Amino acid sequence: MKRLANAVFQLDSQISGVQWAINSINAELQRKQEDLVRLKKAFSQLLDCSDEFRHNKGVCLDPSLSKNTWSGSMANDFEGFKQKELQGSYQSIEERDLQTVISRVESEIEQIKQEIISLENNRSSQQSRLNDLHDQRRKELLNNE
């Protein structure tokens, strides 16, 4: 009888540990899934910003200066500044900065998806382990009736 109590106690202890592990995995899975939802939303917003940047690329050249508005070397210098400096900086934001952030977010989304798959696999194997422990416990109790 003492051997039965000891065996059942050990199995109960293992069952408790596996249940705790499954609960921890579930909590981590929930956090990762929430992170994934937030990142996907941010990714969508970044793509919208990128589209808006491309659509409004010409805005930084407004207003255009006509001979009636302004002429001379200052006007030419200003037009050159708008086309080279201002529009170049504007394009740099979309092409370099915004695309870098989009790529990072996309990479993070893929990483979190992989982490979720890994956690789900871990949870599945822990659940199998838990089922095995419950089976062992039942057998131990049935064999010693």
How many Å apart are CA 43 and CA 103, to the nearest integer? 9
Confidence band for 45, pLDDT divided at 50, 70 and 90: very high
Tell me what pLDDT residue 66 has. 54
Confidence band for 19, pLDDT divided at 50, 70 and 90: very high
How many Å apart are CA 76 and CA 69, to the nearest integer? 12
Tell me what pLDDT residue 124 has. 98
Q: SS3 sequence, the chain?
A: CHHHHHHHHHHHHHHHHHHHHHHHHHHHHHHHHHHHHHHHHHHHHHHHHHHHHHHCHHHHHCCCCCCCCCCCHHHHHHHHHHHHHHHHHHHHHHHHHHHHHHHHHHHHHHHHHHHHHHHHHHHHHHHHHHHHHHHHHHHHHHHCC
How many Å apart are CA 88 and CA 65, to the nearest integer? 19
Q: What is the pLDDT of residues 117-132, one digit of tens each?
A: 999 999 999 999 999 9
Task: Choose between 27 and 7: higher pLDDT.
Answer: 27
Rounded to an integer, the average pLDDT of 92-97 is 77
pLDDT at 55 over 90: no
Q: What is the pLDDT of residues 133-145, one digit of tens each?
A: 999 999 988 987 6
Share the mean pLDDT of the chain: 86
Dihedral sign for Cα 116, 117, 123, 127, please: positive
pLDDT at 54 over 90: no
The architecture of the domain spanning 2-143 is Orthogonal Bundle (1.10)
Q: Domain-by-domain residue ranges, the chain?
A: 2-143
pLDDT at 91 over 90: no
Closest to 90 in 3D by CA, of 49, 50, 116, 57:
57
